[in-house]
């Protein structure tokens, strides 16, 4: 038999054991017997526990959209591929790469740049003006492709009657996670 504790009319903790067996009386007294299925978030009027009303379609869409945007943001930092190598694409790396673009022909000769390529040991390449430009262009193209995939998922999710179940795992540009 579960036992539930509420705060301001909403269940905030559920135990599957009698609280008196694990906590002092003052803490155990905050719990009362509940029926099977009672969960955090259920409503408690002091007499009975009831399931919360179903979230509106708009709320479910908003929650799904937040998950899609989180995936978009995660993918932005999975690197960009230029030639045979993957390069970092997190914010700090983007700043460094922008500086390389600004340096142009002033990039120090023989400058070694660590790649994101995961072949052990770490892979370094010689940075050149052309490579810096390639990374910059690949980052812009990657951002555009990720944004486009995100928008396709947003439209499809919003057209779904069950946005909370919408699968947005496919349709993204290739990343280093894909072993490409």
Each residue's pLDDT tens digit, 85-115: 999 999 999 999 999 999 999 999 999 999 9
Strand order in the sheet with 49-50: 31-33, 3-7, 10-15, 43-44, 49-50
What is the per-residue pLDDT across 124-161, written as a single tens digit (0 to 9) for each? 999 999 999 999 999 999 999 999 999 999 999 999 99
Question: Position of tokens 């009027």?
Answer: 45
pLDDT of the residue at 128: 97
What is the per-residue pLDDT across 48-76, written as a single tens digit (0 to 9) for each? 999 998 888 999 999 999 999 999 999 99
Say how far apart CA 99 and CA 163 lie, in whole Å.
Answer: 42
If pLDDT is split at 50, 70 and 90, which confidence band does 170 have? Answer: very high
DSSP state of 169: S
Predicted structure pTM score: 0.71
pLDDT of the residue at 17: 94
pLDDT of the residue at 117: 83
pLDDT of the residue at 118: 75
Most distant pair of Cα atoms in the chain: their distance? 77
pLDDT of the residue at 121: 86
pLDDT of the residue at 24: 94
DSSP state of 164: G
Asked if pLDDT for residue 120 goes beyond 90, the answer is no
Asked if pLDDT for residue 26 goes beyond 70, the answer is yes
Return the number of other C-beta atoms located less than 10 Å from residue 165's C-beta: 10
What is the per-residue pLDDT across 145-155, written as a single tens digit (0 to 9) for each? 999 999 999 99
pLDDT of the residue at 180: 58
137 three-state secondary structure: helix
If pLDDT is split at 50, 70 and 90, which confidence band does 43 have? Answer: very high
């Amino acid at each position: 038999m579960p036992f539930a504790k509420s705060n301001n009319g909403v269940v905030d903790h559920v135990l599957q054991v009698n609280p008196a067996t694990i906590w002092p009386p003052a803490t155990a007294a905050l719990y009362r017997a509940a029926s099977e299925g009672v969960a955090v978030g259920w409503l408690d009027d002091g007499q009975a526990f009831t399931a919360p009303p179903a979230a509106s379609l708009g709320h479910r869409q908003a929650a799904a959209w937040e998950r899609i945007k989180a995936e978009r943001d995660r993918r932005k930092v999975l690197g960009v591929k230029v030639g045979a190598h993957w390069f970092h694409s997190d914010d700090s790396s983007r700043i460094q790469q922008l500086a390389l673009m600004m340096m142009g022909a002033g990039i120090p000769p023989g400058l070694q740049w660590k790649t994101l390529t995961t072949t052990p040991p770490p892979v370094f390449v010689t940075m050149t003006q052309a490579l810096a430009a390639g990374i910059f262009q690949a980052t812009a193209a990657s951002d555009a492709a990720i944004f486009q995939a995100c928008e396709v998922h947003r439209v499809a999710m919003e057209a779904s009657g069950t946005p909370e179940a919408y699968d947005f795992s496919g349709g993204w540009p290739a990343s280093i996670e894909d072993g490409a």
